[in-house]
Structures are given as C-alpha cells and as structure tokens.
A and B are shown apart, each in its own frame.
Chain A
C-alpha cells in the first residue's frame, strides 16, 4: 500500500507535469510528487523510465460470466496490468449479460478475489441486451456500474435510447453507444470499399456507423445527457462529434488502437485476427481518426479487448466472430503510430490512456495529484520487441502478431501495490490483504 517511485520522468497531463520527480504513495493514495523524496517505504527505481497515472481502459470484454473458455476476469486483468492498465471497464455482453444487480455483484466480487487491477462494471441499457425495455439502471448503478451500454449491438429503438439517456442523466453516468445500422450492415464482415470489392467479402459501410452517431448526437442534444460513443471508426462520425462538441452537446468518444493503426488493405491476408466490428476502415477514415486525436475531438483510446478462443477464429473469414484482443499491445502500437510518428506529444498520449478515460466516466485515477488513488504505470519507451503469442491474455487473437513494437509497461501499480513487474516476468498475484478490501471509489 506504500511505495516510493524514484528517479523517473513523471508525465502527468492532469497537472501539466513532465519532469524528473519522485512519487510517494501512502495508504494506497498519492501522498507527494516532489524532488528527492525520503521515506522508509519500499522503493521502485524508475531511472530511465516514464512514470504516469495508471491507464484506464473504457472498453474491455472480460467474458466472465459465461464464456470463460475465451477469457476470465483473472486472465483479462492480468493482461491489463501487463499492458499498463490499472483499471478496466467491463462490458455488459457476458452470458448472462450484466443487466441486473446479481451479475454486477458477481463481477465485482470476482474482480476483488482474482482481479489484478480495478474492474468497473458497465451495465446493460436494456434487459437481455434485447433493445426492448430498460434494464434496472439505478439498481445497476448502485451495485457499481459506472456506465451503461448494449455494446455488441446498437440501441436500435430511438425512443429507448432517448429514455436511457434521460434516465442516466439522473444517475450521472454516461450511456455508451455502439453505433451500427444492422440493415445497412447486413451480412457484412469488413469495411465496404475497394478491398471488400476486391475480396468479394460483404461490406459494412461507413454510413452504418455515421447515421447512428448522427441520430444519437441529436438525442444527446435533446436530453442534455452524456452520450459516450464507443470505438468510432469513420471520418463522418468524427466530424459529427467534432461539430456537436463545438455546439455544446455533451458527447464524448473513444477510438481503438487497431482503427488508428491499421486499414482494410491488410484484410487481403484473410486473417481472422483482422476481423472486428466496427471493421478496419480505409486509409481516409484512419487519417480522420488521427486528426480527431490531434485536435482533441477524441477523449480516450480504448482497447475493445475482445478475446476469442483459437478454435473460434481458426475458420473461414466469414464465419469467424468479430473482435481482437488489445490490452497488451495498445500502448506500444499507439506510441509508435501517434508519438514516434509525431501526430501528438507523449503528454497527449498519456491523456488519452489515463486522464481522458478517467474524466469521461468520472472514475478515480487519471492523475498523480495528492490524494488521488495510488495507480501508476511505469513505461520503458526504448524497449523493442515483436508482438507474439502466447499473450498474458487467455486468447491470442491479436491484430498485431509479428509487428515490431517499441515501448511498453514495465510496472503497473494499483493502490500502491506493485501488481505487475516485468522484471520478474510475471503478473504479481494480488495480495491476500487487498482481496478482502473493496476498491476505494
């Protein structure tokens, strides 16, 4: 619960900090950030490393309960801390879905028992994710849900979306929208464009996302509620959000590492590890995402970590499930594409990984200010390696296998505890004492 991190370059965009400083964590909270701190507690020497507020992933599929053959809360959170994440938000589309308090409580309890990092559940918008009637949103919120979403499918009924937004504005939590028009998408497995034509694969048009983003932004304006748009992948969606924010609409958004790094051109390999929803888009859309990141339209980078079993992906492209894992490769991929390629500075990247996501969902963390939770990520920006299976995650459906990467987390600290330390090549199991305590909110 106590730790002193010395000699590191502290980058904390929440305080516009970028300097060589020490960070002292006491009783699980940031006690001081200063030069040459002296203390009797355990010391982590971060010489040559970068010290940042812990990463927060707004969009993780833990697969538990119900699909433990793909991933579990234990394995996903170990992958998370290996990727530098001290907190993940767990999507609701488990089996059964997180549409009632009992499921939320199970996730919270399992995370406390076996979770390597903090887990914030996201509740369903509708009962059974069916898009028909509201789930018990207040009950879900009371049980610990930090947002609600039917992610995996859109809220197709505009009236239901309106009511969810209104109701959640009372609770002070965002509605996360997964935007796709199922009719426009019919049968689609990749982005509709030149490459879908070339490959003869059914296309998912950009308009499928853009039309629903436009609708929901209009509903956010109508209700004044907070709309958060998940995994935005298209130029049109970025433009709609950019304009809406200028007009004062309460809309935030996230993008994924794979959408900002890859394009539909790579699907020519027919690799099922390049099949996800929304799909990899054309280079024009990718460019628009980079612009949205650079100009501040994008609030957060979220992984949409979607583990699948090897057998499920080892089939024809048409038949494979959508989704790729991302927790372990998110930072190096984004560091390469955004910072090393000079789209943004390191501070802005840390903002997108930590401060931004914490701010958007109003979560603890995202800052090294005195009194903040003692969640810290320590990065080695020089480490070079190749992404390869096996991953810490139970799954290996990564879009980046074989990619040369640079930069990664060497340590992840949650509430002052070292939960991951690459120097010992294994995720440290959560201490017994921590398991019994509820994570501080």
Chain B
C-alpha cells in the first residue's frame, strides 16, 4: 500500500499542553508545523489536570516571587532537579499563564480582578492559577482555540487554514526517521499510521518535538489514560537519545480506591489545599506522624496550628497534609499496611466536616460530580476513600534546559516526556506550568534549529521499509492476544516496581519483562486495519516494555530512597547519590536497555546562595558544603 507523505519544518508529536504550546510557537515563528496526536484534538491527558498551574505572580500573597518558587521546586525534587530548568520554569511561568488569558482563558479571580491563586502541597504561598478543579481542561481548550485562531489567520492570508499548522488527529507515530543509524545522525522525519483507516503516513521533517506525556499504562493502578504508553520515551531511545531519572515515578497520594473499575482515578490535591484532611480508620490525622526531618521546620505539629494556617499563613505553619506528594503517598501506604486503612483499602480524605456544602461544590465541582456519579458518595456529607495511584514520571528525555534539544540533532522534548525539571519528585501545579514554559522553548528551539540548517536531512528509504514492516507484523501473525501481555506487564510493574521497592523484587520484575518481551514478539492482531485497537495495542507494547525496563533497571541501580523512588533495602537519602543521574540508553539493536551513571552539574553560585546552609546540609556532601561556605565568605 502507498504511504501518504507530507513535508513540514517541525513535527510535534502529542497534542497536550506541551505539544500545543510548542506547535503554536513554531507556527508563530513562521515554521510549517504538524501536530500529530493519538486521540481527537482536545482530548489529551492534560484535560485531567485539576489543581492548577503554578506561577509566582504574587496575586494572592505579594511576597511570592520566582526565587521562592525555585526554592520550593528544588526542595520538592529533593535537590536532584536540573537547576537551570527549575530556574527558567520559575522565572517564565507567570508570562506563560498571562499569555493564556490573552488567548481567551478564564481563570478564577481575586477580589481585585486578578487571576486567583490557590495553595498546594510544597508551595510556600498560594500559587496555582486555576479554574475550579478543571484547570487542565481550560488550558487545553485555550491552546486548542489558539491553534484554531492561527488557522483562521492563515486562511485569510493564504486561503488555506492548514497552510502553516495542521492537526493530524488519531494518528500514531511508531518510529522517528534519521539520515542514518548513528546516534549523531540527525532526524529527518517520522513514520506512523492513521488509527482511523490503518494507512501509513510519513512526515519528512528536519525537527521533531516529542510531547507524548508519560508511561502510566505500564501500571494497573494509574490515573493515566490509555495514551500513556511511553511512546515518546521509547521513540527517543530508539533514535539514540538518552533518558534520565527513569527510576522516579510519582504515586499521587489520592486516587479513588472504590469501585474497582475506577481504582486509580485522581482525586485532586486541591481537596487538601482547600482544607481537606486525611484520617485513618481510628479517626487520627496521621500525617502529623510522618513529617520528615528535612521538612520539620516548615510544617505544623498540632492540628490547631495546621487549621489556623488556612486563614493566617504569616503566623502559622502549613498542615502536613500538604507535604510533597511522595511523603503523603508513603504515609498512606504505611497506614494501610499497618491495618489502619479504610474498608476498601485506602484512607479517609474528608472535606465534608471542614467546609460548608455550598463551598465544596463551588470549589471542587468535578470532584463532587465524580464521586457522586462513580461511587455514590456525596463528598459534602461523607469522607472519600483514597490511596496512592501511579500518576507521573519525573524521568524522561535528557534535554538542554534552554532549547529543549535532545542529544540527537533535530530532536526536542517537552513536558512529561522530558526529564530533569522535577528532580526526584514533582510538586503539584508544576506540571501545567512546565508544559507551557518548556513547550514554548521546544517550539522555539526547533525553529532555531531549522533556521540553522544548510540542507534538509534526507529520509532514508531503508528505514521507512523497516518501520513499515514492523508496523504490519502483528496483523500478519496469528499469535497471542496483546491484552494478555499488557495485563501481565501492568501487574508486574505494579507489584514489583511500585511505590516501595527492593532488589529481589526488581530483579524478578526484570526477569518477567524479559519473558514478556519474547511474548510480545509473537502477539497477533485479528481483524483489519480500520480502527483496530488490538493492533494498536500490539504496537504500543514495544514502547511500554522498553520503558518499563528503563524504570526497573534504574530503580535497581539507585541504592537510596529519594522522592519517587523508595527502596525498602536502602531507606535513607544519600548525599553521594544526589550528585548522580542514571542515564538510560537503548542497545544498538534497540532490544534492551543500558544504564550509566553521570555526575549532576553543581548549582550556579547565585542560585545555591538562595538557600540556607542548614537546609543544604540535609542534602549535600561535606565537600559540597565546604565549597558553599567558601562561596558565601567571598
């Protein structure tokens, strides 16, 4: 069958917040841009984001500024973050949020008419721009409508709305194309198929921006949608790029636990930001028992102080329900293990005794709706039952902070698929702002790269033939049902490389993944090429398996506990390990994963000086501390 061919300057894979912002930037810089997405336009996983976008605008508390946001982000990530990314993010997030408003977004307001900001875990001041608890939807719709506005402009100017920006929806990319096989050979395009009719499509393009989100579908209990199969992570690996921090996975502390069919679906952190508390089966607010040493000066030690904080933040410390997500998730896990869980295996999250019913439905409308419709629970009258759910991967493509460029020339990555920004644990609210800040930078980086090229890299026809054969294979085999292999992978990762890990279990997981890789080679898809989900899943398996192997190999190697990586056999945080990044690459034939250690560059002088010595001492080595002392003395 003939392959449909298109020529573009920049191809963006993924149409969530990062992908759309990247595409808008590339188009605004005059580049012919394609957006390729697996779902319909406007359905990306970003719509699930509830709480808000963190940006130090200082609308609610004027003491907030980029330096405070930067500090909070580094603390949340346990100082493993790429500090340059954290700096750019904190500095640029306000402009990115204001820009959305100029494109039609309607955020909730303060009394003086500015964008309202709400409290969230790990953020020192109210910082999240929000719309009730559906901020992600507002962001996607605004960016989607901005793309449409640009198309309307192009129609006026060129008579064709798709002259400079076109959305290829329900289209899956299975391979990145390059001029050759070497890691230094540049990108020349991308190959994929239309889900609607199964026809193959080839994009001839010198720059590709990956914005494919995360990997949650490798786990059983997840807040992620079906699309989160680690496509961008795998595409990057197979093209010769590197992934970092893959051992760090965020288990959101509050997912629904009942009924079983909705297990894992997110319960927004705003419930806690707006006053909700966690209790065990004995009615105890157990988070007071789990404040770690590194945070003990910043959190209330009594319920009275915690409660006062909601109205008087200057004179009280925040309640420990608002610790970073990794801490809260581990605490819930411990309570349930100790036999103090709720009947359905979670803990209680209660807002009904904390706010008037009308206030709950105003501030948390979609949570109210979600529990009522799916669990028959009225959150204005009774507590919710919640437990940890696989939510976000901190790890991803290793990129240059300023341009979002990966090591392969012509390849860029932004949003969840990129790594570094959030270190070992992401703060709530830092994702939506990350998408905007680095989506824009990736679009700009790709545009600048295209401008600097002397000639367009050529697509190698051999690689097209290989990609085509790979995509056809499951249809030509009479093999195992891909759903079976997928379910087994999900169970393996959930049970053996989950929230609490140990060497034997991770080793078992790696053995299981090896066997699943063999089985995946034999899966078959019955039916034809028209909208065939069995075939699509068979192709996605390659990505999920490759990414799961990265997670497990890196998790086995990092012998400490930090953020989204908790080792039962190495419970402490190690200053030596803080300086190390684990870098995953694919073996030459793409069939397995290698992991190498790399030294994390030290923080720039002016940035490290933003922290107190007493705080740094908890994270950094004696040698680094001596260097800090010398710096401060100067």
A, B in one complex? no
Chain B positions near chain A (C-beta within 8 angstroms): none
